[in-house]
Amino acid sequence: MKVYLVSFPDDIPILKRLVKKRKEEILLSYFFLREGKPLRQVVDEISKEPKKEGSQ
């Protein structure tokens, strides 16, 4: 069973956390993608090599 973890497309830190932990299956909703950052840009940003996350 594949488990897609749901995230909001504009929450880049959360998406980066998923990628950092090598969680590849992610579900995003079109409803939240209509406004805000373009999806291509979101995917590009989260696919960059992760920097070590700061404490807060």
Partner 1 sequence: MKRRKLNKKVNLFLDSGAFSAWTQGVEIDVHDYIEFIKEHKDILEVYANLDVIGIGGKQPNRLTAERTLENQKIMEEAGLEPLPCFHFGEPFEFLQYYVENYDYVALGVAGNTGLKLVPWLNECFGQYICDGEGNPKVKVHGFAVTSLPVMLRYPWYSVDSTSWVLTSRMGSVYIPRYYNGKWVYDENSWKIAVSSRSPDKVDAGKHIDTLSPRQKQVVLDYVHNKGYKLGTSRFEKIAQTHEVKENERWAEKKPKDKTAKRLLEIIDEEGIANRYQLRDEMNIIYFQDLEKTMQEWPWPFKQKGVRGFVL
Rounded Cα distance, 46 and 32, in Å: 17
**Packing angle, helices 39-47 and 12-20, rounded to 10:** 40
Q: Is 2 in the site for partner 1 (CB under 8 A)?
A: yes
5 near 25, Cβ under 8 Å? yes
Q: Does 12 bind partner 1 (CB under 8 A)?
A: no
55 binds partner 1 (CB under 8 A): yes
Applying CB under 8 A, which of residues 25, 35, 51, 52 lies at the interface with partner 1? 25
What residue ranges bind partner 1 (CB under 8 A)? 1-7, 13-15, 17-34, 39-40, 43-44, 46-48, 53, 55-56
